[in-house]
Structure 1
Amino acid sequence: MTIEKFFKATSYALVTGGFLTLALTGRVDAVTCILYALALVASWFADRPGSRLQISERVANWCVLAYLPLAILDFRYLSGSWVAPLIHFTLFVSVFKLFQIKRDRDWVFLYLLAVFEMLLAAGLTIDALFLALLFGFTLTGLAALQAFEIVRTRRAARTATRTTTFSYDGRRAQAESRPVGYLLAMTFAMALLIGALSAPMFFILPRWNTGLLAQSFSEDTALTGFSDLSISLGSVESIKTDERVALRARVGAPLPPNRHWRGMVMTRFDGREWTRPESSRRFAISQQDGRYILDERRPGPLTMQTLYVEPMTTGALFHCGEPWFATGLRGLSRDSTGTFYRAERGTRLSYVIAADLTETPEEQLRADPLRYDERARATFLQLPATFDRRIAQLAREVAAAATNGYDQARAIEQYLKTRYFYTLNLERGDEPDPIADFLFETRRGHCEYFASAMALMCRSLGLATRLAGGYHLGEYNEVNQTYIVRQSDAHAWVEVYFPQTGAWVEFDPTPAAAATASANASGWLASARRYIDALRMFYIDYVIAYDAQRQRALARDAGSVAAQYQAATQQYASRYRRFFRDWVETHADWLREILEDRQLAQSIIAWALAAGAAMLALGGYLFWRRIRRTPRLLFERWWLEWLAPLLRWTIRPDEHQSAVLFYDAMAALLRRAGYRRPAHQTPLEFAAATGFEEVMVITQAYNQARYGARLDLDAPSIDRALQSLRRRLRKR
């Protein structure tokens, strides 16, 4: 491959890399992707002299100006945001630059467009595949820039090159075909060097604004899920078909399988929709030492939960268990039901929750007399005006054998879980009341129906109940101790209040079929996916959400690891010292006998000397052989020059090698004195430039010996010239 073809290939690869990073964000529609890909292929074949598909610079500029009104219309009436019009405009300009008759500045403009596309994609995606594309983009960028400079320099020097004729051997002609290989090797070396230098700098440079990267500046499409204010029957059905990731949660160990990621709770039901009137009265939570204290009571054992939440329309604070404090947020409030609200919504963010997962013992729950105050009765025992009394009768029949509120709730939970069926394809019966229709007609439904039915049955028995909305735990990745929660994991369940202990206890009446099957995936494909997810989580944790807090934690971890390695090294060193001391003590008598036996000691010393002499002889032979093959090595190091007379004496019959040896010695002397021959100078030109007569004499002898037909080398005169040159250089 010629350097011109390599330049074209790497340049188009760079442009393609910028486009692929934009396509990775999901912001480029399928039609735009197909059209740009076709234009990219067509421009590749059109990029040749005399092609009719190429356009002039003036036509390209007028086309770009004509597109500006369309970009404004795209922003105002079609896309509704600045991201899509900016992407379309960038790709449009890139296409016309590709079809343009390109000069050097046009290639530079295409490179800048590709870099801009890469930077734009960096703010629009958190996919770990971006790292792979960035690595490929870096390689192609380095290669394209080097090839561009070589092609540009060749083009500028083409006139001078045509007027000069060089005579060189086959080895130089072979070397002319190697620039592409050298460029590839140099590109990989530079990329590794850049990565080795930039990666530590990224982690070491201080972060001034906590959570800066975690707060996405992109206008992401927010996931539609639970509302902050209501949960309608059937609302989860549309969410369960969405396989997009809703959030990721890093925990230290697997959580209990009966737990959920709770986001909000609902208290009032009108027969078709759950609402929370208390949401209108919210109380701001102030920070204390950088923490939002969510529960003033003394906590039990805390579990740290780091959540990475995708953009959502809801501002609910997701957590598992009873939260105690939160960090990494910009504003937090709560209402009287215990629902927490984030100030930010519709953006990607991360935060840390410290929660108490301790469960109240069942004995205490069974012993609770369930004495509620007036507020709790009015809020958590409310029944809709159209409440079907058959539901209360069914609740009494199901819980007839229970003697306390906890067992009543468990009996209702098990009844619904075992007697009814989970489905997303809901069919309505003849009952006007959807809950009565679910309980007495269809006996099929999804989680809102199960949770609403249990809530009404519990309330009819006098159990203070609320409906909770959030997600199943999701798929646990044991590689990096992370839960991956998708929209399809959306769920609703019931919480019953036990006033004596102040605990809200979760009850999930929905059959197990509602849980996602991905958590049970196995096989090598599932394992590979877990490792890919772990890599993606690492990218999110240490790149996207890397802030001052994580930087301090990483520094602490690095310090502890260094201390552990230091302790381990000291332990190994002391162990080997003890081993050597024990060995000496064990074999002390044997060593003493050897030292006292003079004949044996002399034999050992003789063998050691013989082995050492043999090794020295072998090393000397190999070294001398290398010197014979490459005599100039003698003059690369001053402490080897004393071998030059010996080598000159051994090769004295070969006048060609003698001349080369004299020339190498002269070149070494001149290099030490600051005279270096540029690559474009011939030996005679260099000799004339130095101004030393001795250099001219030795160079003429060298040229005659190497290129002349006859060899008539006057070794003594050349040696005298070399000695004279050495004396003159010492005086300078």
Structure 2
Amino acid sequence: MNFNTYFRLTSYATVAAAALALFIAGGVGTWLAIAFLLVMILAWKLEGTRWQLSERVALIVILASLPLFYLDWRVMGTYLDIAYLEGAIRERGSVEVAVLAHLILFLSGVKLLQRKADRDWFFLYLISFFEVLLSAGLSTSPAFLGTLILYLLCALSTVVAFEMQKARRKVTAKQTQLLVPPDSTLFRKLPMRLWRRRYLETRRLPLVSLGLLVLIVVLALPFFLIAPRTASGALKRGGIGISGFMGFSDNVTLGEIGHLKADDEVFMHVRIDRLGSAPPAGLRWRGVALDEFTGKAWKKSALAARSERKESERGFFQVGTTEDINHLATQTFFLEPVDTPVLFGAPRIVAVQGSLPFVQIDSEAALQTRPHDQERVVYKVYSDITEPPPTVLRSDPLDYPAPAARYLKLPAASDPRVAILAENVVRRAGARNGYDQARAIETYLRDSYAYSLDLKAGGPDPVADFLFNVRSGHCEYFATAMAVMLRTQGIASRVVNGFLPGEYNEAAGAYTVRQSDAHSWVEVYFPQTNSWVTFDPTPPAGRTSRARSGLAGQL
């Protein structure tokens, strides 16, 4: 084997080892790996022939292919959504990482088919290095160590051969400048310093190889050692693993939901498997309900915090009842790893089904299970989404039982102007029953105040500051203001934190719910029918998820 063949062999082996690492890490699929192998074989056969691509043609091919990678990004996103929701894959990896892997492999393939100068070989080595780094971020398998060692061996040999190739060309160029045959007596006598320089350059090769080895180990191994701790590759998780999650605990300070709404990270996917009867306007994914207001925060009272733990070997947990099974809407939730034990569902939840160790339901019908900040949770929810008709609710005299008194309590230092405002709103609307009074206050807040994520309301009484000074805020302030105004009129109410439906993906048949879809609203208690009815005083600007289609029009 001559030196040129050896150099090409080590170079191709380095590229192949990097691609193998990417394949083992799950960055590319089997068919794409086979296609790249065929490209490598073809490139090897074409080396030194006129059929290799010129530099200009290779550049045109790369530029012309860029729109295809945008299409790849769009198609890959839909494919991952469908496979993820249907259970074909256990994790929905990052679309951007997958497309990046495709792009890197494509660039490598084009460069292999091109006529290569030293800079092209160097570009191939650089691409292979980034492939290994990407593989380290994706990998959770010890097999990656084997491919890493293989790559290091190939890369070390390639760097040595590459430097020797450059040194040989440099000596040949010097010989040519002498304008005498390389084997002449004059050449053998005169240019000894040139030969010494050649040998000195060759002696640098171990240092160059050692430097490359240290660089790869320092950069790649930390990725591999850190990533498996989360039971998923650091890049494969696509940023999932939400920490510092706020707004869904037993004590929620005004403003926490607003912080969530500033983040577009995916929180969960929801697929409606069976709709049941026609849903009420504004169907939402209910999380926690809070009954006690301190003036600056909502929390669960001692009565509300009482809970019942349900366990089931079959994974079916009944938490409520329904008069008609045809009213049930079935939803499947794909909840991403997040540091909250809350389970979400459309109100009113009747049953939960899934591989859950237990389900805990509190006095406000909020559900929890064990925390799942390192794993995805999939479960079904059966909800009776019907509400009593307005005619029935208007006839309710609101004779509350003693336990409902906690839904009427207000802080002792509440601003008296809030009660006066509520009374004026109700009187101007001509509302003569609890239902119409609630609708009047809801409409007043929705039409008279502006929606904003800026947290401007504050001071000792944030509600009064919102109503009489700032006059703008996000959903928490609207919901809190309505609940407080209702309580001043003797109407039992509580605040609920959850999510808007989210963005509907027609291809996947599911909603993508992001943290920015977090929302607060009000539930009003009607004792005659023992029902909690949803009211949402937030203006339309704060109740709109991203563009939706299909069933979203009903939601």
Q: Same fold (TM over 0.5)?
A: yes
Contact 2:521 2:535 in 1 (8 A): yes
Asked if 1:46 corresponds to 2:159, the answer is yes
Contact 2:14 2:128 in 1 (8 A): no
C-alpha distance in structure 1 between counterparts of 2:205 and 2:424, whole Å: 82
Asked if 1:415 corresponds to 2:436, the answer is no
In structure 2, do the counterparts of structure 1 residues 125 and 277 end up closer, same or farther at CA, with 3 Å as the change threshold?
A: farther
Contact 1:451 1:492 in 2 (8 A): yes
In structure 2, do the counterparts of structure 1 residues 501 and 341 end up closer, same or farther at CA, with 3 Å as the change threshold?
A: same
Q: Aligned to 2:306, which of 269, 281, 302?
A: 281
C-alpha distance in structure 1 between counterparts of 2:508 and 2:489, whole Å: 44
In structure 2, do the counterparts of structure 1 residues 385 and 223 end up closer, same or farther at CA, with 3 Å as the change threshold?
A: same
* Structure with the higher strand share, 1 or 2: 2
| Matched position secondary structure for 1:364 | helix
Contact 1:223 1:311 in 2 (8 A): no
**What letter corresponds to residue 258 of structure 1 in structure 2?**
G
In structure 2, do the counterparts of structure 1 residues 221 and 445 end up closer, same or farther at CA, with 3 Å as the change threshold?
A: closer
Contact 1:294 1:326 in 2 (8 A): yes
Match of residue 330 from structure 1:
357
Match of residue 503 from structure 1:
531
User: What is the correspondence of 1:545-560 to structure 2 with a 5 Å cutoff?
Assistant: none
**What letter corresponds to residue 466 of structure 2 in structure 1?**
F
Match of residue 303 from structure 1:
329
CA offsets 1:215-238 (integer angstroms, 9 cap, x no match): xxx993436132321221111121
**What letter corresponds to residue 268 of structure 2 in structure 1?**
L
Match of residue 535 from structure 1:
none
User: What is the correspondence of 1:516-527 to structure 2 with a 5 Å cutoff?
Assistant: 516=544, 518-520=546-548
Match of residue 345 from structure 1:
372
**What letter corresponds to residue 438 of structure 2 in structure 1?**
A
CA drift at 1:463: 0.8
Q: How many residues align?
A: 385
Contact 2:311 2:357 in 1 (8 A): no
CA offsets 1:29-74 (integer angstroms, 9 cap, x no match): xxxx99963997995972626554556999999x69x97xxx9xxx
In structure 2, do the counterparts of structure 1 residues 253 and 295 end up closer, same or farther at CA, with 3 Å as the change threshold?
A: closer
Contact 1:25 1:121 in 2 (8 A): no
CA drift at 1:337: 1.9
Asked if 1:230 corresponds to 2:251, the answer is yes
Contact 1:465 1:496 in 2 (8 A): yes
In structure 2, do the counterparts of structure 1 residues 361 and 38 end up closer, same or farther at CA, with 3 Å as the change threshold?
A: closer
Contact 1:458 1:464 in 2 (8 A): yes
Asked if 1:315 corresponds to 2:332, the answer is no
Asked if 1:445 corresponds to 2:473, the answer is yes
Match of residue 14 from structure 1:
20
Q: Aligned to 2:223, which of 58, 70, 87?
A: 87
**What letter corresponds to residue 267 of structure 1 in structure 2?**
D
**What letter corresponds to residue 343 of structure 1 in structure 2?**
R
Contact 1:250 1:482 in 2 (8 A): yes
| Matched position secondary structure for 2:464 | helix
Match of residue 240 from structure 1:
261
C-alpha distance in structure 2 between counterparts of 1:419 and 1:507, whole Å: 16
CA drift at 1:483: 1.0
Report which stretch shifted further, 312-321 or 297-306.
297-306
| Runs (5+) with no aligned partner, structure 1 | 28-32, 72-83, 92-115, 128-217, 523-529, 531-732
C-alpha distance in structure 2 between counterparts of 1:520 and 1:469, whole Å: 22
C-alpha distance in structure 1 between counterparts of 2:424 and 2:16, whole Å: 76
User: What is the correspondence of 1:448-459 to structure 2 with a 5 Å cutoff?
Assistant: 448-459=476-487
Asked if 1:249 corresponds to 2:273, the answer is no
Match of residue 37 from structure 1:
130
In structure 2, do the counterparts of structure 1 residues 20 and 245 end up closer, same or farther at CA, with 3 Å as the change threshold?
A: same
| Matched position secondary structure for 1:399 | helix
In structure 2, do the counterparts of structure 1 residues 277 and 17 end up closer, same or farther at CA, with 3 Å as the change threshold?
A: same
Q: CA RMSD in A?
A: 4.1
**What letter corresponds to residue 300 of structure 2 in structure 1?**
R
**What letter corresponds to residue 281 of structure 1 in structure 2?**
R
Match of residue 419 from structure 2:
392
Q: Aligned to 2:491, which of 445, 458, 463?
A: 463
Contact 2:358 2:369 in 1 (8 A): yes
| Matched position secondary structure for 2:19 | helix
User: What is the correspondence of 1:503-582 to structure 2 with a 5 Å cutoff?
Assistant: 503-516=531-544, 518-520=546-548
Asked if 1:427 corresponds to 2:451, the answer is no
Contact 1:225 1:312 in 2 (8 A): no
Report which stretch shifted further, 351-360 or 246-255.
246-255
| Matched position secondary structure for 1:407 | helix
CA drift at 1:419: 0.5
C-alpha distance in structure 2 between counterparts of 1:287 and 1:121, whole Å: 29
| Matched position secondary structure for 1:396 | helix
Match of residue 407 from structure 2:
380
CA drift at 1:476: 1.6
CA drift at 1:321: 2.0
C-alpha distance in structure 2 between counterparts of 1:373 and 1:223, whole Å: 38
C-alpha distance in structure 1 between counterparts of 2:440 and 2:363, whole Å: 29
User: What is the correspondence of 1:21-420 to structure 2 with a 5 Å cutoff?
Assistant: 21=27, 37=130, 43=155, 46=159, 48=161, 52=204, 87-89=223-225, 121=232, 125=236, 220-222=241-243, 224-252=245-273, 256-278=280-302, 280-287=305-312, 289-300=314-325, 301-328=327-354, 329-346=356-373, 347-377=375-405, 379-400=406-427, 401-420=430-449
| Runs (5+) with no aligned partner, structure 2 | 29-92, 98-125, 134-150, 165-203
Contact 1:124 1:220 in 2 (8 A): no
User: What is the correspondence of 1:467-482 to structure 2 with a 5 Å cutoff?
Assistant: 467-482=495-510
In structure 2, do the counterparts of structure 1 residues 89 and 123 end up closer, same or farther at CA, with 3 Å as the change threshold?
A: closer
CA offsets 1:546-603 (integer angstroms, 9 cap, x no match): xxxxxxxxxxxxxxxxxxxxxxxxxxxxxxxxxxxxxxxxxxxxxxxxxxxxxxxxxx
